[in-house]
Structure 1
């Protein structure tokens, strides 16, 4: 059977609660950032729950020795927040993966063509072998941002099967595009929304996750966070 994109929508009540807080147009920036942090934490937890490499070892307790399981320190783990809205998820993701390396990628959308453009890339020329990647991108709209991200990652030696995407809301159009291009990816999202409006924004969506996180402009203005 051919690989198919797998999309996980965790049924955890805390994920549902913080998604509701993030959707609410009356939520102030400080509380919106809290919601993003919490969603980043819980969705990253789900993404790595059966994915992290482990070692079987022995530890000494105050009473005796016993078998133990630890994370394998020899396997590199990295988080890639897509600027700027992905920064809102980063803090929560780091509570789950405090030792992960952080590689920033800045992508913005041309509002005329709706095509993504990369304006900042802090990736190495080649990632270490076997590096496992968490991509933090709050909104998967058209799929263009993630396709560009994956192009940059694979050019630097990343196996798509070692990538997990953490996203708050995803549109079917983006998931269909990823299924065609990178079917070995895994997506962890709080909700699969109805679709896109004529501006390529997710409906019902969150508005603009970047502006709402940092309190910069109106929630329905265009920005990099809607480039997904």
Structure 2
């Protein structure tokens, strides 16, 4: 597993405001978008491109464009939706799919409840987005789900990760799968409720409010 922690003063500053329990939802959503855009620079560093002949107002030249097939952005519902806007701004030609997964708070098992993805992802670079990589269970299931459909490469983009979740990914993801993880920070540990510490609380609730 390749892990990249984005080290940048702007990320550190925005992440501090994001963590603050007094930051309102509207500001929280804006910060998530901004942090994801900064992460996207690193996450797309090895994205495939191809030559594109064009004419500028001055002369013809050969530029670059994203290679086919188009990359696909896959938010894990519901919190992953908060990261979609930032990713779509950075890769506006990408397609978007959705994967609904949630953790049973009692058993911590992962339940898949929604899927809006192409059956065939052959040759596709998939950007899998979810704010929190906590136990790693959701991400592991999602990675295997995408790989079974032929994804060429999977880049997981998270705002925060816990060491326990990263360790599980390294141990439990099929080593034949080409994937990497990009995060803004790796935090200290998980508490008894599997929340990241110090973390930022429940990302979905802070983005969209508490759902009963």
Superimposed CA distance per residue, residues 19-48 of structure 1 (whole angstroms, 9 cap, x where no aligned partner): 111100000000000111111111122100
Provide the secondary structure at the position in 2 that maps to 1:134.
Answer: strand
Question: Matched residue pairs, number?
Answer: 209
TM-fit CA distance, 1:13: 1.5
Query: Is the counterpart of residue 46 in structure 1 residue 42 in structure 2?
Result: yes
Question: Do 1:171 and 1:194's aligned partners in 2 also have CA atoms closer than 8 Å?
Answer: yes
Q: 2:64 aligns to what SS in structure 1?
A: strand
Q: Which residue of 1 aligns with 2:22?
A: 26
Which residue is equivalent to 2:76?
A: 82
Q: Tell whether 2:50 aligns with 1:59.
A: no
* Structure-2 separation of matches of 1:168 and 1:86: 10
Partner residue of 1:10 out of 6, 12, 20: 6
Structure 1 stretches (4+) deviating beyond 4 angstroms?
A: none
Structure 2 match to 1:167: 158
Deviations 1:178-221 (A, max 9, x none): 1123354211101000010001111011100000001236xxxx
- Structure 1: gaps spanning 5 or more residues: 218-222, 224-228
Q: Which ranges in structure 2 are unaligned for 5 or more consecutive residues?
A: none
For 1:103 and 1:19, the matched residues in 2 are separated by 27
Question: What is residue 101 of structure 1 aligned with on the other side?
Answer: 95
Which of 29, 33, 36 is the equivalent residue of 2:32?
36
Aligned to 1:144: 137
Preserved CA contact (<8 Å) 1:134 1:163 = yes
Q: Secondary structure of the residue that 2:50 maps to in structure 1?
A: strand
Which residue of structure 1 aligns with residue 195 of structure 2?
Answer: 201
Asked whether the equivalents of residues 80 and 133 of structure 1 are also in contact (C-alpha less than 8 Å), the reply is yes
What TM-score results when the alignment is normalised by the length of structure 2? 0.93
Could you tell me how far apart the structure 2 residues matched to 1:211 and 1:61 are? 47
**CA offsets per residue over residues 102-154 of structure 1, 9 Å max, x none?**
11111111111011111111122222x21000001100011100111012112
Structure 1: how far apart are the matches of 2:49 and 2:147? 25
Other-structure match for 1:220: none
